[in-house]
Structure 1
Amino acid sequence: MGLDMYLVSLPKIEGMDYYEVHSASADLGELEEEQNEIYRKIKPHIKHFEEFGMSWKSLREEVAYWRKANQIHHWFVENLHNGNDEPLFTELVTKQNLEDLYNLCVKVLENRKNPQDSLPSMPGPFFGYYSYDDFYYYQIEETKSILEDLLNHFDFDSHYLMYQCSW
């Protein structure tokens, strides 16, 4: 229980916009049963996963994960979700969004005075620690590393990137 946060990749599929691909991803089981035109479009993009003795199919692939990094969650809430925090939401993330958050992480790590001005903690149910201590800076460093990797390797031309949280 607590704040779990993900960046998830979703393929861009010719003839479908983000919302259609997102909807198809949610309805994958039904579409597979129907074998309709939408299923034929998405079928080449379906990935097969296996972990902990379980297997599943999905259009989505997790590319980053945080647990209880409430200051990072707060940034996504404020910048992508109009300041409205909800127990479960998904928002589209652009390369510019990642660059903005990355630059804030660098700023906070370079000048550790008043980090609350750039990446403030966010209280919430089981959201983790709110103090600006070594763990706060560890989470900022981890986020910087995650974002640097994505900025260097994620293909925004062929995939959508989404932020998803649950608490």
Structure 2
Amino acid sequence: MGLDMYLYLEDKETSEITEYSYYRKFNALQGYFVEKYNIPNCGRVELDVKTIEGIYQLLNDIRYNREKASVLMPTFPGPFFGSYEYDRIYHNYVDQAASDFYHARFIDFNKYRFFYTSNW
């Protein structure tokens, strides 16, 4: 049990799903999506280039101003959601997600739809 989050691609032509990225118990990212999109458990949000760029910038701001993490992307409580500390684990998640969202900016959106979803 725990918080599992995914970024995935859906081929517009074939509807084939490809996992793009996976996060385990990165509750701050879940909190971002809950606050911004009010998604329920197992809900999904389609992301466009503008949204991806905004999330990337937010994560990058945290990477270079780690003391602002609690303001820019606070931890988010929930059942089995992991640590609520702004420690090495939190910042490793931020670093990974920043890299993933950076590369997601270059997806061919004429061919793919890009989604965030989670399950706990």
Q: State the TM-score, normalized to the length of structure 2.
A: 0.92
Counterpart CA distance in 1 for 2:103 and 2:82 is 25
Bigger RCO (CA 8 Å, 6+ sep): 2
The CA deviation string for residues 113-146 of structure 1, in whole angstroms up to 9 with x for no partner, is 2311111100100111011111111110011111
Structure-1 residue corresponding to 2:3: 3
Which of 24, 27, 36 is the matching residue for 1:70? 27
What number of residue pairs does the alignment pair up?
Answer: 120
Structure-2 residue corresponding to 1:122: 76
Larger Rg: 1
Counterpart CA distance in 1 for 2:61 and 2:117 is 25
The CA deviation string for residues 8-28 of structure 1, in whole angstroms up to 9 with x for no partner, is 111224xxxxxxxxxxxxxxx
- Please, which runs of 5 or more residues in structure 1 have no aligned partner? 14-44, 47-58
The CA deviation string for residues 38-79 of structure 1, in whole angstroms up to 9 with x for no partner, is xxxxxxx26xxxxxxxxxxxx211111111001111112222
- Seen in structure 2, the aligned counterparts of structure 1 residues 124 and 85 have a Cα distance that, compared at 3 Å, is farther
Identical amino acids, percent of aligned pairs: 32
Counterpart CA distance in 1 for 2:41 and 2:111 is 29
Tell me the amino acid that sits aligned with residue 162 of structure 1: F
Structure-2 residue corresponding to 1:106: 60
Counterpart CA distance in 2 for 1:12 and 1:95 is 16
Partner SS for 2:79: coil
Tell me the amino acid that sits aligned with residue 76 of structure 1: F
After superposition, residues 140-155 of structure 1 pair within 5 angstroms as 140-152=94-106, 154-155=107-108
Q: State the TM-score, normalized to the length of structure 1.
A: 0.67
Structure-2 residue corresponding to 1:163: 116
